[in-house]
Amino acid sequence: MEGEFGPNYAHVLADSLVLSQYQMSVKATLESGVSPRDVWDAVCDQQDVPAERRLGRDIAPKR
């Protein structure tokens, strides 16, 4: 989430964004045992994150 929303706003979203699919905050949904992938997909759907950004930024390989 930090890669998409920034370090500060990601934490705000985790605590305050209620995922309509689960009727819980992001943090509570993760704590309830829902897989991080499913939670991320729900966040992306609800926040309209484009498909090309859902896997995060490309990181250059170490040499």
pLDDT digits over 6-57, tens only?
Answer: 999 999 999 999 999 999 999 999 999 999 999 999 999 999 999 998 988 7
61 within some domain: no
55 within some domain: no
pTM recorded for the entire structure: 0.85
Q: Alpha helix (H) ranges present in the chain?
A: 2-5, 7-16, 26-31, 36-47
Residue numbers of the domain that contains 39 = 2-49
**How many other CB atoms are found less than 10 A from the CB of residue 39?**
21
40 within some domain: yes
38 within some domain: yes
19 within some domain: yes
36 within some domain: yes
Q: String of b and e for 6-32 (b: at least 16 CB within 10 Å)?
A: eeeebeebbeebebeebebbbeebbee
Domain count along the chain = 1
28 within some domain: yes
Token pair in block for residue 3: 């890669």
**How many other CB atoms are found less than 10 A from the CB of residue 42?**
18
